[in-house]
Structure 1
Amino acid sequence: MMNRCGLLTPEKEPVPLKSIEVELEVRDHVATLVSTLLYENKEDKPIEAVFVFPLPGDAAVCHFSAVIGQTQIVAEVKEKQQAREEYDDALSSGQQAFLLEESDQSPDIFSLSVGSLPPGESASIRLEYVTELAVQVDDGLRFCLPAVLNPRYQPQGSEGSSVQVTSVPASLVPYSLSFSARVSSPRPISKVESSCSLDPLQYLNAEKTQATVKLAAGHKFDRDVELLIYYTDAHQPTAVVEAGQASAKTGTVMGDLMVMLSLYPEFPQSGMSSAASCGEFVFLMDRSGSMDCLLNNSNHQGTRVASARDTLLLLLKSLPMGCYFNIYSFGSSYEHMFPKSVEYSEKTMEEALKKVEEMTANLGGTEILKPLEHIYSQPCIPNQPRQLFVFTDGEVGNTKEVIDLVKKNSGSHRCFSFGIGEGASTALINDLAKEGGGHAQFITGGDRMQPKVMQSLRFALQPAVQDVSVTWDLPKGVSATVLSPPITALFQGQRSLVYTQITGQSSEAAEGCVTVKYSLAGHLSQNQLCFSLKSAEETGLTVHRLGARTLIRSLEMEEREHRGQQVGGVKEKVVELSIQSGVSSSFTAFIAVNKSDGKEIQGPLVRRNVPAPSEYYFKSTPEPPRDPLLQLVSLQKASGCWLLDAALAAALGKTSEEVNQEVWATVLALIWLHGFKTDAKEEWELLAMKAVSWIHAQNAQCMTECVEAANTVLGCKVPKDALGL
């Protein structure tokens, strides 16, 4: 009988993965991650260890190698089927082999197979990837090491087999994680925060442009590791120029100069003042069973679905009069509140809020494709631009199909996406926004959903930018090939990245200029960035790999669009580019075979699945009491005013004798928000603006006295100017 000692999976099988060590290098807004996985076979027979795990959806995996004893084997990128066959052949002939491949369904799931690890043998696997860091609402840059891989729901009748994930509750993960990061930037690093406990930030120089940080001792591998990095004065347009690979041919993606442009458009105030008071707002809410999990494992915030209900309340109160809206919810099936989008009024808002209050996570699996198809089948309302808000914990199996559908309909709407809780698919959430010309947000750890969603509503209320063009002014004999998809969406203060291959020779002192032109609310605008064509020191090939990854993703999407048609060569182009750049794709895999010692490994191979942490904090405590802010918000009328009644008096902590009339009630509510809830201003700012507009429309007299009296009643000192009155 086999000895059942050591680390065990749910099936009581030993786990050969002992530890994961992660080193992160952040340069400005690009990260390189090196992960070392240590395997050990303590059994008496050779094993094959298979580990299915998440990576950021836009990561470019660019290195995979293994060390066994004194031997290092570096994997090569090959066409996927060929790599699988070589792996199988090696195992059947008694050789050790290693295979790393991206899931066919979703680019943020990888499978690592360590084949023929002999009894008593250890193997150290090194995996490297590069990724861009997303800009958050508060200008922080977000890096996430996804630890948690929740099983992805495979819709009925969809093609392709689902990824088989072996998972255990995160607290029972049988291997350890150590994590350290080194950050460097041209601008000082003001702070680094995390959802996990960190040791204090260590600065490496007086200018504070270099620092190291690591996870505090005793970290449990029970959640994604999220780092938020803040630089002073972060919003600067930049161009990073990187020299080509010496061994690559000139004229190829890897052989030429590569430029990564970070553009931060500054919109003219004339265009911004026409912030949309119209639009069709469609909210698509995940009500699958997993939305009944707690938002995080600290239990303070109730369930994901409860947080989503509170968020819908804020959204519905903040919409402008005269717009249109509808609310869809989905699980294994889907439903909509109104047969088609309705005009926003007191009546329709109240009707919607009643139904929102009753929403529970009772709709089964996560099938998002059908409701999206239904939304897109509805004709758009003239002069009401469609804005789609998608809320999901992202446990979707058919990610690529969903993204393709959004891209196909990107001309008719903007899509804003929200990933709720640990383990939400980064590929799904980021690509919904990228292809839908919107903005993506992740709600994890102790985050509140509401401020992030209100930031996206502000973006949605910005007029859509049209006719974006990027033009280059380069020295004679030098040309630019843009590898990124055309920019279709721009938002005030948000970064757009553009990767460009620069072909041709220029002098050391040569300069290039790039101009972004666009039309905003009928006004033509432009932003310009000039930069030196001299390559930066020490960037390695990071920018080239990210550029190659961007082009690979675009080509993969093109291949899916034309599948079944006789459009030749796209898949071949992806395979060629993937092999040339050493960056993974959906059509290639990394394969390494140990041919060094020539000893055959004897005996039948036993498969061991390494479990990934999964993240289910089910509801075990009563829902927390309703937040006073949300209590006050729930009483606001669609027009922006509050009514003076016992409920408002209670929300303000007063008796109803102390209050009367709508203007007076509305001023009181505004004073309370400014006096007691400044820390949550981004959540109530839009509905307060609506209230101020309503007061102006009433031509109310004696506002100075009214504000003074309200301050006295509530014990505040909010000046009239601060209210916008």
Structure 2
Amino acid sequence: MHARVRDQVARVQVEQIFRNTDHRVVEAQFLFPLPPGAAITGLTLMVDGKEIPGKLLKKDEARRIYEQIVRKHRDPALLEYVGRDLYQTSVFPVPPGKQRRVELRYTHLLSAQDGLIDFVLPVGTAKHTGRPIKRLTLELAIETTQPLKTVYSPSHDVSVKRPDEHRALVTLTLHDVAAPDDVRVLFGVKEGLLGAHLLSYRPQRDADGYFLLLVAPDIHQADRTPTAKTIVFVIDRSGSMSGTKIQQAREALKFVLQRLNRRSEKHPGDLFNIVAYDAQVESFRPELQRADDKTIAQALAFVDGIHAGGSTNIDGALKTAFGMLHDTGRPSYVVFLTDGLPTVGEQNEMRITENSRQANRVKARLFAFGVGFDVNSRLLDRLARAHGGVSLYVRPNENIEEHVARLYNRIAAPVMTDVALRFEFDGQKDTEPPPVYRVYPKPVPDLFRGEQLVVVGRYRRPGAARVVMTGRIAGEEQRFAFPVRFEDLSRDDSHSFVETLWAVRRIGEIIDELDLHGHNQELVDELVRLALKHGIVTPYTSFLAN
């Protein structure tokens, strides 16, 4: 596996070598994940030194052609999306004693927090394959605009070489691994890395362009009194949470409870409550409680009494939690600890998401904390996205304190809430269509200390403009303006990945609409058109090399 990262943009090449040690011809299949939001850009099948490039077709057509070639005993390779960011490579035939190599390429916009950029190579699905991986290698080249501060892998003992202050080479080699963990590398840059930076891409003057906006305003609040906030904790106590999962959820909840801002002369105290659910939904108290020594001690005792058993009513629990929130004057958060597997009540993921959206009348942010190997990440990511929050995950064999601390740091330090973005162009008339459109994410999430805002969208009008960001800091309205420029015509394809990043977000929105409202041929046609143009594997498209 070879990866090259420039600031936050990763370009990854994965080589899968299938070697047949049997005495008969076999078909090789390998199931593997990609990071959420990654866009596959190419597939190549290598047969006896000959390259066979892949092309993107409609899914049914790709499968039909693959099966036709298999019957002729020629050499095709098929890459298919199988759901939940999982992909499957199929190669046939692999003759006895021979090997076939498949090269997969994708791009991915990495996440950043507290000055750390997070690169994850998800190989953990390989622990479910029948045989160990003979050899797994990674070569990761990092290059940053600002000087690198740290390079660290919490998952593996990697080798790091630093030729200069802007570059690093990370290497890893594993042999005969039956249950590999995902490879994760964190690299840090100095404060104020990005500020506000806009990348635009417009390959044709007669077509609208694409932009990527990264915003990390330099807002210092070290001397400020912590913002008073409201948090409702929702903990899953159903049977699927038994064992290590419920223990981790309890410890995570207790960790955050003990760090709530208590009432004092200088602070009014955070408000909180706890919702525990299986088939039934139970609250710690009928109403929100103000954090002080007494209420927190009682809450900790309530958490100790939570045990796993029964079915899973996620829909009812979330509606109960959001129904407790009424004050729009302070930041409100729902912390959802679960494996995300609904079994009673409403079980459709899109309807659960829509019901929670309707119950959320105060623009509360939802933070999903997934536990276990079998967590329903699709539902948790969808809920977090719908409520302007984020989702975090912890496996049973991982140290929970690191993950909970990261979650708490987000909740404890909201730098700017009720964030809104506006794009101002000189000479823009009210009668003209908006100069930017199809902007994601929606809604714009809160900004937390050390984090940044990542926005993609389309633009109609090139030239100089201003990005105006407004929000509340410590309860006061604030405004920041950043000068930017939208390209009239891109000179090369160096920023072409911006178009693909936007297409991934748009396709995700279309899939959500289809899940919620049912089949719509116009939306399906748009999805397939975007996927084929940008090389994105979806439930409706697959790569084929023949």
After TM superposition, is the score higher than 0.5? yes
| CA distance in structure 2 between the aligned counterparts of 1:188 and 1:323, rounded to whole angstroms | 38
Q: Please report how far the alpha carbon of residue 79 of structure 1 lies from its aligned counterpart in structure 2 after TM superposition.
A: 2.4
| CA distance in structure 1 between the aligned counterparts of 2:27 and 2:327, rounded to whole angstroms | 59
1:236 corresponds in structure 2 to 194
Aligned mate of 1:328, from 254, 275, 285? 275
2:13 corresponds in structure 1 to 34
Is the 8 Å Cα contact of residues 147 and 189 (structure 2) preserved in structure 1?
yes
1:682 corresponds in structure 2 to none
1:284 aligned to 2:235?
A: yes
| CA distance in structure 2 between the aligned counterparts of 1:72 and 1:369, rounded to whole angstroms | 50
Q: Please report how far the alpha carbon of residue 489 of structure 1 lies from its aligned counterpart in structure 2 after TM superposition.
A: 2.2
1:548 corresponds in structure 2 to 503
- What code does the residue aligned with 2:444 have? T
Q: Aligned to 2:480, what secondary structure does the other structure show?
A: strand
1:134 aligned to 2:111?
A: yes
Please give the per-residue CA displacement for 1:663-685, whole angstroms capped at 9, x wherever unaligned.
xxxxxxxxxxxxxxxxxxxxxxx
Q: Please report how far the alpha carbon of residue 277 of structure 1 lies from its aligned counterpart in structure 2 after TM superposition.
A: 3.1
1:304 corresponds in structure 2 to 248
Alignment of 1:408-419 (within 5 A): 412=362, 413-419=364-370
Q: Aligned to 1:182, what secondary structure does the other structure show?
A: strand
1:121 aligned to 2:66?
A: no
Q: Please report how far the alpha carbon of residue 178 of structure 1 lies from its aligned counterpart in structure 2 after TM superposition.
A: 0.7
Q: TM-score, normalised by structure 2?
A: 0.81
| CA distance in structure 2 between the aligned counterparts of 1:434 and 1:321, rounded to whole angstroms | 30
Matched-pair identity in %: 19
Report the CA distance shift for 1:187/1:364 in structure 2 as closer, same or farther (over 3 A).
farther
Q: Please report how far the alpha carbon of residue 336 of structure 1 lies from its aligned counterpart in structure 2 after TM superposition.
A: 2.3
Q: Please report how far the alpha carbon of residue 251 of structure 1 lies from its aligned counterpart in structure 2 after TM superposition.
A: 4.7
Higher strand fraction (1 or 2): 2
1:214 aligned to 2:176?
A: no
| CA distance in structure 1 between the aligned counterparts of 2:422 and 2:125, rounded to whole angstroms | 39
Q: Please report how far the alpha carbon of residue 285 of structure 1 lies from its aligned counterpart in structure 2 after TM superposition.
A: 4.2
| CA distance in structure 2 between the aligned counterparts of 1:398 and 1:125, rounded to whole angstroms | 36
| CA distance in structure 1 between the aligned counterparts of 2:245 and 2:49, rounded to whole angstroms | 47
Q: Aligned to 1:223, what secondary structure does the other structure show?
A: coil
Please give the per-residue CA displacement for 1:297-350, whole angstroms capped at 9, x wherever unaligned.
xxxxxx63463254254256758766543323456x454234744433666544
1:355 aligned to 2:302?
A: yes
- Structure 1 residue runs of 5 or longer lacking an equivalent are 1-21, 151-164, 296-302, 595-725
1:603 corresponds in structure 2 to none
Report the CA distance shift for 1:273/1:203 in structure 2 as closer, same or farther (over 3 A).
closer
Q: Aligned to 1:327, what secondary structure does the other structure show?
A: strand
| CA distance in structure 2 between the aligned counterparts of 1:517 and 1:381, rounded to whole angstroms | 23
Aligned mate of 1:261, from 197, 213, 220? 213
1:457 aligned to 2:411?
A: yes
Report the CA distance shift for 1:218/1:116 in structure 2 as closer, same or farther (over 3 A).
closer
Is the 8 Å Cα contact of residues 417 and 440 (structure 1) preserved in structure 2?
yes
Q: Please report how far the alpha carbon of residue 32 of structure 1 lies from its aligned counterpart in structure 2 after TM superposition.
A: 1.4
- What code does the residue aligned with 1:283 have? V
- Structure 2 residue runs of 5 or longer lacking an equivalent are none
2:457 corresponds in structure 1 to 500
Is the 8 Å Cα contact of residues 192 and 216 (structure 2) preserved in structure 1?
no
User: CA RMSD of the aligned region, Å?
Assistant: 3.9
Q: Please report how far the alpha carbon of residue 587 of structure 1 lies from its aligned counterpart in structure 2 after TM superposition.
A: 2.3
- What code does the residue aligned with 2:111 have? A
1:390 corresponds in structure 2 to 336
2:50 corresponds in structure 1 to 71
Aligned mate of 2:445, from 485, 489, 498? 489
Report the CA distance shift for 1:541/1:432 in structure 2 as closer, same or farther (over 3 A).
same
Aligned length: 525
| CA distance in structure 1 between the aligned counterparts of 2:372 and 2:491, rounded to whole angstroms | 38
Report the CA distance shift for 1:268/1:197 in structure 2 as closer, same or farther (over 3 A).
closer
Alignment of 1:417-432 (within 5 A): 417-420=368-371, 427-432=378-383
Deviates more, 1:516-525 or 1:579-588: 516-525
| CA distance in structure 2 between the aligned counterparts of 1:133 and 1:487, rounded to whole angstroms | 20
- What code does the residue aligned with 2:334 have? L
Q: Aligned to 1:371, what secondary structure does the other structure show?
A: helix
| CA distance in structure 2 between the aligned counterparts of 1:440 and 1:455, rounded to whole angstroms | 14
Q: Please report how far the alpha carbon of residue 262 of structure 1 lies from its aligned counterpart in structure 2 after TM superposition.
A: 0.4
| CA distance in structure 2 between the aligned counterparts of 1:546 and 1:419, rounded to whole angstroms | 25
| CA distance in structure 2 between the aligned counterparts of 1:90 and 1:286, rounded to whole angstroms | 50
- What code does the residue aligned with 1:554 have? E
1:180 aligned to 2:180?
A: no
Report the CA distance shift for 1:571/1:57 in structure 2 as closer, same or farther (over 3 A).
same
Q: Aligned to 1:500, what secondary structure does the other structure show?
A: strand
| CA distance in structure 2 between the aligned counterparts of 1:101 and 1:280, rounded to whole angstroms | 41
| CA distance in structure 1 between the aligned counterparts of 2:249 and 2:233, rounded to whole angstroms | 18
- What code does the residue aligned with 1:523 have? E
- What code does the residue aligned with 1:311 have? F
Q: Aligned to 1:66, what secondary structure does the other structure show?
A: strand
Is the 8 Å Cα contact of residues 148 and 422 (structure 1) preserved in structure 2?
no
| CA distance in structure 2 between the aligned counterparts of 1:268 and 1:186, rounded to whole angstroms | 23
Q: Please report how far the alpha carbon of residue 428 of structure 1 lies from its aligned counterpart in structure 2 after TM superposition.
A: 4.9
Q: TM-score, normalised by structure 1?
A: 0.63
Q: Aligned to 2:272, what secondary structure does the other structure show?
A: strand
Is the 8 Å Cα contact of residues 329 and 335 (structure 1) preserved in structure 2?
yes
2:527 corresponds in structure 1 to 574
Q: Please report how far the alpha carbon of residue 55 of structure 1 lies from its aligned counterpart in structure 2 after TM superposition.
A: 1.7
| CA distance in structure 1 between the aligned counterparts of 2:220 and 2:300, rounded to whole angstroms | 37
1:314 corresponds in structure 2 to 258
| CA distance in structure 1 between the aligned counterparts of 2:33 and 2:87, rounded to whole angstroms | 6
Q: Aligned to 1:58, what secondary structure does the other structure show?
A: coil
Q: Aligned to 1:455, what secondary structure does the other structure show?
A: helix
| CA distance in structure 1 between the aligned counterparts of 2:436 and 2:97, rounded to whole angstroms | 54
Q: Please report how far the alpha carbon of residue 421 of structure 1 lies from its aligned counterpart in structure 2 after TM superposition.
A: 6.1
| CA distance in structure 2 between the aligned counterparts of 1:121 and 1:179, rounded to whole angstroms | 24
Deviates more, 1:476-485 or 1:45-54: 476-485
1:528 aligned to 2:482?
A: yes
- Larger radius of gyration between Structure 1 and Structure 2: 1
Report the CA distance shift for 1:538/1:501 in structure 2 as closer, same or farther (over 3 A).
same
| CA distance in structure 2 between the aligned counterparts of 1:537 and 1:250, rounded to whole angstroms | 13
- What code does the residue aligned with 2:318 have? L
Q: Aligned to 2:309, what secondary structure does the other structure show?
A: coil
Is the 8 Å Cα contact of residues 134 and 176 (structure 2) preserved in structure 1?
no
Please give the per-residue CA displacement for 1:546-583, whole angstroms capped at 9, x wherever unaligned.
1221222122223333326xx55111111101111112
